[in-house]
Copies of this chain bind each other. A is one copy, B any other.
Amino acid sequence: MPAAQPPSASASSLERLFSPRSVALVGASERSIWSVSAFDNISRFGFDGPLHLINPKGGVIHGRQTATSCSAVGEQIDTALVMVPEAVLLETFDDLQQAGITSAVILSSGFAEAGADGLARQQAMTEKAASAGIRLLGPNCLGFANYTAKTAIWTTPLRRPMPNASMAIVSQSGALAGQLEQFAYQQRIALTHMVSTGNEADITVADVIEYLAEQPEPKSIALFLETVRNPERFIIAANKARAAGKQIVVLKVGSSEAAAKAAQAHTGSLVGDDAVFNALCLQLGIARVNSLEELIITTDMFARMKPAKSRGLALLAMSGGLCEIAVDQADELGMSIPELSAETKAALREVLPTFATPANPVDMTGGAMMQPELISKAINAIAQDPAIGAVGFVFDVPTKDDKRGFARNFIKHVSDGFNSIDKPGLMMSHTFSAVSSEGKALADEFGLVYSGGGLNQTLKALGQIIALSNFKPAEIASAIPQTDTRPNTERAVLDYLASHGTGVIPGEIVNSAEDARRVADTLNCPVVLKIASPDIQHKTEVGGVMLNISGGDSAATAYTKMIEKVTAAKPDAHLDGVIISPMRSGGVELFVGTMQDPQWGPAITVGLGGIWVEALKDTSLRLLPITENDALDMLGELRGGVLLDGFRGAPVVNRQALARTIVAIGNAALALGPDLVSLEVNPILASEHGIEALDGLTVWA
């Protein structure tokens, strides 16, 4: 993966945009629902700076006197929301410039999203803005809401800020940002910021992430992406967010080919190879999710929960059926709900109601309903187990006013339990439930982390938190020295790989039957003969491969036959000779190949060899360079990985050595520079002879 460059200076230049001291609504009008909403939002948020309404005709709008232009205001304006038709946009910029405005939010659409003409208009506008020193959010965006600064420049109705906000939303789609805000509100999840970036003519999601990384309030960022317009800047921003302790959670469309096509039609932008983006997330420590609900629930839980101490999850619930559902779901998610130690079981037994069994998950039974102090004690007992890294308790906060104080008392005890342990703890609802203000207030009062996401969704989110709790960004490898070598025959590629530390099959090029005899005798094992020629790609078809030849005599005969056949089939080919190598059998075949992604650069793929695995598309991919740990993770992702571990009596493959080989191949590819399209090593054989590349191929631009 490309090393991070020093951060740009752009983040701080967004301070004025996102925390304006004064705002202008340009194109304010009673007849525009955008204008009405924007004005309402500003009032509802309690923005306390000057607000100027601009309309060329002047008059009173939204109950206020308007100015006919920004420059006519005669005061400093930090940010302008521009709601004028595309046709008058350029002259509007003249006005903004004259008024000394440096930040503009462009609601107007009809630009890059509307085809080639629109794209040209967008470019003209962007140049105009740049020359006027104006930063642009949009066009074709709904604006932003900075809840922490009580500032909403947003053109559809928003709810007012809620207390205890700790997550932000950044979305390329304004409509979806609105849906995410609505869902977050239903779950009583408070937001610090919400930014819709639209066509990103100037400011991209990467800029916004960098800006948010510098803000104290957001602890995590929910990101909806259709495309990444500036991959290098995105990596820098993601690294900056991580360094600042802010988790990014992303929902990116384009996981299917059809969606990639749809997005291309829709935004005119390249959605890119989804497998590469997935690798990027893994390497940057970004959590990736698949639905709008999951995006909000997961980001919220990241914002409020401590990292897990280890992989094991402990669960407590009030019914046995629910425990069984939880176990099934955890199993499907690849999560660990470990058995408890004998000590933990003994401790737990002391604090469980009659009929309850000390196990994980713990069915507290209905009996605990009337003895909530048992929940507190059970949480405490189970959290002591060394195998446990995080604790969840399945229970709902009340949906209505808690007249008898039953829920209050119950939740106080649950919170006591969670507050007394040093591992992350969560109370999770049974099913997806809208969270009431009463329920939220109760949880907040006792410092309880509660999610209404339901067992299924919160388990998924816990899985992400656990998986990323020990994430460490890969040590940036020192730059790989470039070489001028351009290996382009099988043997040249293998020799080049060997010079980079990859084990390769021994081989000697011979030019006579006599030499063939000598080499075969020296090797003293069955051998393989292959024609060596830069002009011949498909050796088998021209009789250029002979397998399993035993003894010097046979090798000499085979040499003569091969030269005859190949010469007959390809009379014009230049022949370097014939390569003689030991014949290998048994072991496990793999393939390793590198590629150049047009957006993200060089990447490497590993898979198990053979037609079966090819048919099943069982491969793993990462951006280059990778570390040994990355390579081990890649092997761990292969569904057929069990074949490496001595399946059905086969020899066990040394995964560490294999990982070193994969790293070496990746570095060897990088050293060949950007002209290399692909370096393919297929197969690599892991056998009693160690790990050896048997064949290699390069493709050049």
Contact = CB atoms under 8 A, between A and B. Distances in A.
B328 A256 contact: yes
Interface in A402-446: 430-434
Interface string A153-195: 0000000000000000001110110011011001000000000
A254 interface: yes
Contact of A323 (B262, B325, B612): B262
Contact of A290 (B266, B361, B456): B456
Nearest to A355: B114
A320 B179 contact: no
Given A265-B357, A267-B320, A639-B616, A329 B432 contact: no
Interface of A: 109-110, 113-114, 171-173, 175-176, 179-180, 182-183, 186, 224, 226, 251, 253-259, 262-263, 265-267, 290-293, 296, 318-325, 327-332, 337, 355, 357, 359, 361, 363, 366, 396, 430-434, 454-456, 608, 610-616, 618, 639-640, 642-643, 647-648
A36 to B, nearest CB: 12
Given A186-B434, A324-B253, A433-B183, A319 B176 contact: yes
B256 A293 contact: no
A685 to B, nearest CB: 16
6 contacts: A175-B322, A186-B433, A263-B324, A265-B359, A290-B328, A614-B648
Contacts of A327: 253, 256, 258-259, 262
Among A113, A432, A643, max chain B CB count under 10 A is at A432
Contacts of A175: 318-319, 321-322, 366
Given A320-B173, A320-B266, A293 B647 contact: no
Among A110, A176, A253, A255, max chain B CB count under 10 A is at A253
A637 to B, nearest CB: 13
Contacts of A322: 173, 175-176, 179
A259 B324 contact: yes
Given A186-B434, A266-B363, A608-B612, 18 more contacts: A113-B355, A175-B318, A182-B396, A182-B430, A186-B433, A226-B321, A253-B327, A253-B328, A258-B337, A262-B359, A265-B359, A292-B325, A292-B454, A293-B454, A611-B643, A612-B612, A614-B648, A616-B616
A262 B326 CA distance: 11
A172 B456 contact: no
A109 B353 CA distance: 14
B262 A325 contact: no
Contact of A255 (B171, B331, B610): B331
Nearest to A648: B611
B612 A291 contact: no
Nearest to A318: B175
A461 to B, nearest CB: 14
Given A183-B433, A291-B455, A456-B291, A328 B266 contact: no
Contacts of A296: 431
Nearest to A642: B615
Contact of A173 (B110, B259, B319): B319
B183 A253 contact: no
A32 to B, nearest CB: 12
Contacts of A618: 616
A642 to B, nearest CB: 5
A20 to B, nearest CB: 26
Given A176-B319, A640-B616, A643-B615, A325 B291 contact: yes
Contacts of A186: 431, 433-434
